Chains A and B, each alone.
Chain A
Amino acid sequence: MNEKNTNESNKSTSDDLVLAIRNNLYEGAFDNELLQLVNKYEQGYIKESDLTSEEEKKLIDYYTKRNKELDLEISRNKATINKLFEKLEKAYIEAAKLENK
């Protein structure tokens, strides 16, 4: 049982590591110039009408990729919350068993 738990724990750590590396690589894939453009656009310093067609394309590509990445992160967090609730439900059941002993 302990061995199984250790394996599960190792697996979860390695999953986290893979995700962290992937995220870092992903963030690194955007150059500073693009991130500055995104920042200016989001802060409202540059309006859409002021963008060149090349800049507009770069922003569309950025948001398309970033939104997909966010979708993944959202599903991962939802799954984590569901797991936490399962653990909580198990804890309630354990507590009830102990009370009955």
Chain B
Amino acid sequence: MEANIDDVDRVFEQYLESNMTRQEALLRAKLGGSFPDKFLADLEIVEAYLNSGRANYSKLPEVMQNSEEVAMCAAKTGFLDLIKQLPEKFRSNPQIMVEAVKSSGYSYDSACGEAKDDRTVQLEALKNEPNTFMLMNSFEYMKSKPLFDSADKETQEFLITAAADSKVLEEMSKWHKYHEIVEDKDFLKKVLEKNPQALEHFPGSLKNDPELVKISQDGMQKSEAPKSPSTLSKLAEENRAKKSELSDLKKDGNILNKFLSRFKGKTKDNNERN
């Protein structure tokens, strides 16, 4: 008789509940598999499961789905599918969504309510993924014509960060409401301080403005100053990371091997008893 998936799950769960060690559960979770309920309160295991890339938030027990701590772990993974599944109360929580957009700017698309209008969330999303600017274009405070001088500090920082990215600056130049700001010399000076190379995307004659050209050149000289890591140190760093990855893989293999032998032994015993 062929076993169906429910049978497999049932046997697996029976075995897991009684036998699985914490170390095995952690490995299983890391690889996106199920693990016994007795480890549900173990945040390290839950975090490993969420980070596996195979996690399904809606399949977690309700109590876990409603835990702010678990939601925070999910937000930090930066996995868009996972963040989309967070309950609305967490997607509207600025503290949680700031962590989400820091890991993946595009998760801003899943933000709602208070978090969607939160400047810190917007700024962090923009830093991570400048293209998110297009998602913010239609919001209330962006609807009116933004003026740099009269804007509050957070809005100024937001606009400078946005315009420092060449794609966003080009996009801003296309919109009539931004014309005044992208031609504001004081604003453009601040943009150059953040990104001296932005000059080539400035509109018309401002590209050749002597004062702006000088700020750009000074900025580029400064940014060239810090020496980039040498080939040798990069290779040595890669070597350290690879050795550490290999060592982790070997440990995982040993755990799996032991788990497999114990599982086979257990099922053999059951079979003989039957």
Whether B263 sits at the interface, judged by CB under 8 Å, is: yes
Partner of A74, one of B11, B232, B249: B249
> What's the minimum C-beta distance from B65 to chain A, rounded to whole angstroms?
27
Contacts A87-B260, A100-B3; A71 near B242 (Cβ below 8 A): yes
In the bound complex, what is the Cα–Cα distance between A92 and B239 (angstroms)?
A: 38
Looking at the complex, which of A3-11, A15-23, A62-70 is the stretch in contact with chain B? A62-70
Is the beta-carbon distance between B238 and A63 smaller than 8 angstroms?
Answer: yes
C-alpha spacing A84/B7, complex, angstroms: 21
Contact (A88, B256) CB under 8 Å given A56-B232, A63-B239, A66-B239: yes
Shortest CB distance A93–B (Å): 6
Q: For residue A84, which residue of chain B has the nearest CB? A: B256
Task: Give residues of chain A (70-99) contacting chain B, Cβ–Cβ below 8 Å.
Answer: 70-71, 73-74, 77-78, 80-81, 84-85, 87-88, 91-99
Known: A56-B232, A59-B232. A77 touches B250 (CB 8 A): yes
What's the nearest-Cβ distance from chain B to residue A88, in Å?
A: 6
Interface centre among A84, A85, A92, A95 (most CB of B within 10 A): A95
Q: Is the interface of A mostly helix, strand, loop or mixed?
A: helix
Distance of A100 Cα from B263 Cα, bound (Å): 18
Residues of B within 8 A of A80 (CB): 253
B267 touches A91 (CB 8 A): yes
Q: B42 on the interface (CB 8 Å rule)?
A: no
* Docked-complex contact B7 and A70, CB < 8 angstroms: no
Chain B: CB-nearest residue to A97: B3
Measured CB to CB, the closest approach of chain A to B247, in angstroms, equals 10
A-B contacts at CB below 8 angstroms, number: 94
The answer to whether B8 and A81 have CB atoms under 8 Å apart is no
Q: Given A81-B249, A81-B252, A98-B271, A93 and B3 touching (CB < 8 A)?
A: yes
The B interface is mostly helix, strand or loop, or mixed, namely helix
- Residue A48 lies at the interface, judged by CB distance under 8 Å to chain B: yes
Whether B264 is near chain A, meaning CB under 8 Å from some CB there, is yes
Contact of B59 with A by CB under 8 A:
no
Whether A70 contacts B3 by the Cβ 8 Å rule is no
Partner of B232, one of A48, A88, A93: A48
User: Can you list, as one digit per residue, whether each of B229-249 has a CB less than 8 Å from chain A (1) or not (0)?
Assistant: 011110110110011011001
B245 and A74 contact, CB distance less than 8 A: yes
Query: What are 5 A-B contacts defined by CB distance under 8 Å?
Result: A59-B232, A77-B246, A81-B253, A92-B11, A99-B7
Please name 18 further chain A to chain B contacts, defined as beta carbons within 8 Å, in addition to the given A64-B235, A91-B263, sorted by A numbering: A41-B236, A42-B236, A48-B230, A51-B232, A59-B236, A60-B231, A60-B232, A60-B235, A63-B239, A74-B242, A84-B253, A84-B257, A87-B260, A91-B264, A93-B8, A95-B267, A96-B11, A100-B7
